Amino acid sequence: MIDDPMDRIAEALERMAPAPLAAPDFDAATAFVWHTEPDRLEPVAKVSRVDLPLLLGVDRARDTLLQNTRQFAAGLPANNALLWGARGMGKSSLVKAIHGDVAATHEALRIVELQREDLPSVGRLLNLLRGASQRFILFCDDLSFGNDDAHYKSLKAVLDGGIEGRPENVVLYATSNRRHLMPRDMIENERGSAINPAEAVEEKVSLSDRFGLWLGFHPCDQDQYLAMIRGYCDAHGVQIDDATLRAEAIEWQATRGSRSGRVAWQYFVDLAGRKGVTLTAS
């Protein structure tokens, strides 16, 4: 029997505290998704991605990120990367495709997807990854920050690492539609209303400067758009003549008011369905 009130309080707190997170089995998969409440890394049996050669119109970004990833997988110095720019031009697809390509020859390479809303927990995630023998691409898709959004402070734990430094076996790849991770109108509003306009936005805008690689994605032209669709057709065995493909694909883009890799894929999915071709993830 415990007589000391302090001992009883300590014992009650221990019962209330969550059990320590078990060390994940990083050999269970090559890809994981980080979840909180409770903290856990869920293995992904099959990653939804396209083959790297099918990503057209992003040659410079592809080559730069591929080289950076190969260096990282080989235990060499590598940079965090921010993939920013036009919607639907394959930013997240490129990250997943490059991971699949490099992991085929570097068995210890893993990718961990981190949702933007879970950024405050990134310190706990890094503690799990720090001591592992594998190497991890920490992937945060569609990253951006609004007014009075403090999540960007958590991101500094990955980019700057604080007193411990970023784990040597972790690199961050993030995608965003915004070069500075925040809307331009918000930048202008803060500059116009703050007592010290430069300092008002410097902390948030400078966050993007902490990425060693900035890779820009821009809208594709019509030839690239059609080439993307032809590439999908050839890869999946969908038969269609060039004239019909061109006419249908241009009409498809017109009905959506935009032209991008995502629109090209959406047209191809419709075409494959009409042709009775089943698509399987790579």
Indicate the pLDDT class of residue 245, thresholds 50, 70 and 90.
Answer: very high
Beta bridge partners of 137: 111, 171
Mean predicted lDDT score pLDDT of the chain: 84
The predicted model scores a pTM of: 0.82
What does the pLDDT look like over 23-41, one tens digit per residue? 688 999 999 999 998 999 9
SS3 assignment, position 263: helix
Rounded CA-CA distance 73/107 in Å is: 9
* The amino acid at 221: D
To the nearest 10°, the Cα dihedral for 46, 20, 127, 43?
A: 0
Q: In the predicted model, is pLDDT for residue 269 greater than 90?
A: yes
Cis omega (within 30 of 0) for bond into 38: yes
- List the strands of the sheet with 40-43, edge to edge: 40-43, 31-35, 109-113, 135-140, 170-176, 81-85, 213-217
Indicate the pLDDT class of residue 215, thresholds 50, 70 and 90.
Answer: very high
Joined tokens for residue 255: 């009905």
Kindly state the average pLDDT of the residues 124-138: 93
Do 108 and 134 form a contact (C-beta atoms < 8 A)? yes
DSSP string, 14-60: HHHSPPPPPPP-TTS-SEEEEETTTTEEEE-SS-----GGG--S-HH
**Residue pointed to by tokens 């009130």:** 5
